[in-house]
Amino acid sequence: MHLQMQKESDLVHFYQMLAEQTDAQKLVIHDIKKHLYAISLLNNEHENQKISDYIERLTHSSQLKVSMRVCENDFLNAIFNRYLQRCEHLHITLDIDIRKQALSFMDEYDMISLFCNLLDNAVEAATGCPDSFIEVYAGFSKSHNLLLLSVKNSCIQKPAIDTKGRLKTQKSPNGIHGTGLKSVLRVVKKYEGNYELSYDEQSHVFSTVITLTNSKEEN
């Protein structure tokens, strides 16, 4: 349990740093005129090497890397952009559909833990599959007061599922994958939800469907 909570805490701190990096990116873009002015001054002095070095530092700055706006939460955007880059590198198509206000009732700590672990598992399963993909959907039903979260991903082999419908890790019992599954179940339990897994052997698609209850709803 201590290992699980420590891992989740580390994830929160990591994505806080990424969100702050996004804010820094906005500042750099805001100051782009100043950068252009500095380059202009160097050009007037015919400082070609200094111009080249300046542009090199600027274009390789992590603050200027493009980030997509996937949802309303800055932390989640940091998460999703990390996985979009990772999937692009692995040639996995990642589609994300987070409906407006769908996750507004969840604590950020729980959101980060849930999505990181689900996406880690999906990326691991999809890596190396032909035409691999991952689809993430989150929408909230006001009539049922439930969040519906769905993750579908390519998976060449049927995963091992125990008698309680839980995914068996293929890593060591103390490995990070096993801890990740426990983190997902912790969030599901906290929000009085359900967790269902299925596998289509014909299409080689693994599906995770999670429902969470909004206990913060005002009557």
* 115 and 78 inside one domain: yes
Of 18, 46, 64, the position where a domain reaches its end is 64
Is residue 40 located within the same domain as residue 85? Answer: no
Which range has the top average pLDDT, 65-69, 102-106, 172-176? Answer: 102-106
Greatest CA separation found in the chain? 74
Report, in this order, helix, strand and coil percent for the chain, each rounded to 5.
50, 20, 30
Comparing 182 with 18, the larger pLDDT belongs to: 182
Give the pLDDT score at 44: 84
Q: Write down the pTM of the prediction.
A: 0.67
Q: What percent of the chain has pLDDT over 70?
A: 68
**What was the pLDDT predicted at 136?**
97
Which domain, by its residues, includes 43?
31-64
Are 126 and 97 found together in one domain? yes
Name, in order, each residue with C-beta under 8 angstroms of 4's C-beta and a sequence gap of 6 or more. 179, 182, 183, 186
At residue 195, the pLDDT reads 92
* Residue 141 and residue 127 share a domain: yes
Mark whether 104 and 207 lie in a shared domain.
yes
Q: What are phi and psi of 45, to 5 degrees?
A: -90, 5
Residues 50 and 121 in one domain: no
DSSP for 176-217, written as a single string: HHHHHHHHHHHHHHHTT-EEEEEEETTTTEEEEEEEEE-TT-
Do 56 and 88 have their domain in common? no
Given 64, 87, 108, the domain boundary residue is 64
Q: Tell whether 23 is covered by a domain.
A: no
Q: CATH number for the domain including 91?
A: 3.30.565.10
- The tally of domains found in the chain comes to 2
Residue 73's pLDDT band (cuts 50, 70, 90): confident
pLDDT at 58: 67
Q: Which of 45, 64, 83 is the last residue of a domain?
A: 64
Confidence of residue 105 (pLDDT cuts 50, 70, 90): very high
Q: Phi/psi zone of residue 204: left (φ > 0), alpha (ψ -120 to 50 degrees), beta? A: left
User: Domain check: are 84 and 59 in the same one?
Assistant: no
* Exposed/middle/buried for residue 155 (C-beta within 10 Å: 0-12, 13-18, 19+): buried
Are 160 and 179 spatial neighbours (Cβ–Cβ below 8 Å)?
no
Same domain, 102 and 192: yes
Position 19 scores a pLDDT of 55
Task: For residues 159 and 77, state if they share a domain.
Answer: yes
Same domain, yes or no, for 113 and 37?
no
How far, in Å, are 31, 57, 90, 132, 155 from residue 181 at the CA level? Answer: 43, 41, 23, 22, 17
Q: Is residue 2 part of a domain?
A: no
Q: Is 53 in the same domain as 87?
A: no
> What is residue 172's predicted lDDT score, i.e. its pLDDT?
42
